[in-house]
Chain A
Amino acid sequence: MAKLFEKLKGKSLVRQNIESDYVLETKDLGISFGGLKAAQNVNLKIKKNEIYGLIGPNGAGKTTIFNLLTGVYQPTFGTFYLNGEELRGYAQDKINHKGIARTFQNIRLFNNMTVVRNVMVGLQHQPEYKCTLVESLLRLPRHFKVEKAMRERAKELLDIFGLKDERNNLACNLPYGKQRKLEIARALATNPKLLLLDEPAAGMNPHETEDLMNTIKLIRDKFDMTVLLIEHDLKFVSGLCDRVTVLNFGTVLTEGTAQEALNHPDVIKAYIGN
């Protein structure tokens, strides 16, 4: 019954848009699970074309923030805006259509689909790649046209990540580093305004990490993208991020440029203790 009530409340929710100079703006965003406040009073302001880092020790609530921003969890407190449009309360697919796409901490590809089809799943909700059921089932010329355009677009995207030659392999047969890249490609295929990357460099060797940094910069420039990323590799963060926010126990410790934040006494305390 309580669940049903929550649901009804969600449906009748009134969203208010605001004037905002930021791509993503969160206002006192927070969630509590029972008594545990996994995140509270998180205020992020991310400008267009920024690469923004979200860092903090394990359990600081970084992935929770991602889950709030993508609709996996509904915020208990506060709200968030994408280019001034309030997105609180939308379902995951709707938020994706509005322009937030993400990757996952532990890779979640469609393993038994080919690399190119993984990307096509991301592409298929864009209006130019839609064709009706009848067109597809009867295999009318438009079906082939759309399918071909989609495949070409997917190939372009894969080419950026150096995955073009592997496009017909199953996703599960790719090596780890390439699976991570494919996840980014799939998220990009949904044509987002804001890209959320959850530990993109996890498990990569220094060479791969370097390569990934360049790719993320390339994405920002080429797609005019804004990126919010979670990362533990502080070298990666300071080399890539324009600004960062440091979280600890679900609250913001500090924010600023990577250098400022990482040298902040509270941050050092949170990471290595007194």
Chain B
Amino acid sequence: MNFITNLIGGLSLGGIYAMIALGYTMVYGIAKMLNFAHGDIIMVGGYTILVFTARSVHPIIAIILSVIFCVALGISVEKVAYKPLRGSSPLAVLITAIGVSYLLQSLAQMIFGSGTKMVQGLDLGSFSIGSLKIGVSTVVTLIACFMVMIALNLFVKYTRIGRAMVAVSEDKGAAQLMGINVNFIIMITFAIGSALAALAGTFYLMRSPSMYSTFGSLPGIKAFAAAVIGGIGSIPGAMLGGILLGVVEVFAGASVLGPYTDAIEFAILIVILLVKPTGFLGKKRREKV
């Protein structure tokens, strides 16, 4: 019984990680940069929900507003901070991303203070099947995550923009010369990543409704590990890595190894990088001379 509860909990946490990891992996695949400010988009999404639910806006509307706000933020960050650096060294972009991350965290501290705030109205209660007690939010998360992943797969496979995205990730220069507006595709990528981050933040708040300025850091860094485990740049890889980490986290947390959960997760990352440096589904890139 415990096993099933843990499995469902793990899959739903994994779904959250997968959604965040998708943001990392899509941006990496298409813009060839690591967006370390991605975790803080989650935090901004969380605070947006906090602000609106505190003014007794209906939670669903608060969630939608948070998604819209995060998309706008993601696009503006890309336009202001990353776009002028396109074509410069990857290190410059990486440092900029870390800078944006601290900027967002500090802004949140200035506006909301450094204390922890509780978010109301996201508790959906629980139900029980026999002796099994499952939180409604867990099931909602699970279903929503899988729906999002299916939609994303359809989007990439069957739409013009999706096809253009794959082409850009293969060869940006050639894609542009074949008439694809690369700046637009990168903007769309950031928009999708930020929308997923906002949703992931919502579901994370359903698990633990406390908000603070570094709220996005730990899930962000774990999702990044998940993206690397699955093979960064690969969409199914991010899903796989995210779900794996989520399940491991819940099962490890429930066992005697409880206090070492985070250590175990990052140890998995190290082991996988040693055995298969490109991650599970990452493609090996051979440099052709």
A interface residues with partner B (beta carbon < 8 Å): 4, 70, 72, 91-93, 96-97, 101-102, 104, 108-113, 117, 120-122, 124-125, 129-131, 133, 136-137, 139, 143, 147, 186-187, 190
Contacts and interface: CB of A to CB of B under 8 A. Distances in A.
Interface of B: 84, 151, 154-155, 158-161, 163-164, 166-167, 170-171, 173-182, 283
A110 B182 contact: no
Nearest to A143: B158
Contacts of B175: 110, 121
A122 B170 contact: no
Contacts of A110: 166-167, 170-171, 174-175
A210 to B, nearest CB: 27
Nearest to A4: B84
Nearest to A119: B178
Nearest to B178: A122
Given A108-B173, A108-B174, A124-B160, A113 B166 contact: yes
A4 B166 CA distance: 30
Given A113-B166, A133-B159, A93 B176 contact: yes
A137 B178 contact: no
Closest 9 A/B residue pairs (Cβ): A96-B179, A110-B170, A136-B159, A108-B174, A92-B176, A125-B179, A121-B167, A93-B181, A124-B160
Given A111-B170, A113-B166, A113-B170, A130 B160 contact: yes
9 contacts: A72-B177, A93-B182, A96-B177, A101-B178, A108-B174, A111-B170, A113-B170, A121-B178, A129-B160
Contacts of A136: 158-160
The SS class assigned to the B binding surface is helix
Contacts of B181: 91, 93
B179 A137 contact: no
Given A125-B180, A139-B158, A186-B178, 9 more contacts: A93-B176, A93-B180, A108-B173, A109-B174, A113-B170, A121-B164, A125-B179, A130-B160, A136-B158
Contacts of A133: 159, 161
A180 to B, nearest CB: 14
Nearest to B182: A93
Contacts of A121: 163-164, 167, 175, 178, 180
Contacts of A91: 176, 181
B178 A72 contact: no
A222 B13 CA distance: 58
Contacts of A147: 158
Given A108-B171, A121-B164, A124-B164, A190 B159 contact: no
Given A93-B182, A102-B177, A137 B167 contact: no
Contacts of B182: 93
A97 B181 CA distance: 10
Nearest to A190: B179
A9 to B, nearest CB: 16
A201 B19 CA distance: 46
Contacts of B171: 108-110
B179 A93 contact: yes
A81 to B, nearest CB: 19
A200 to B, nearest CB: 16
A92 to B, nearest CB: 4
A97 B182 CA distance: 14
Contacts of A72: 173, 177
A93 B159 CA distance: 19
B196 to A, nearest CB: 16
Nearest to B174: A108
A92 B177 contact: yes
Contacts of B164: 121, 124
Nearest to A122: B178
Contacts of A111: 170
Contact of B159 (A4, A108, A137): A137
Contacts of A131: 160
A117 B173 CA distance: 17
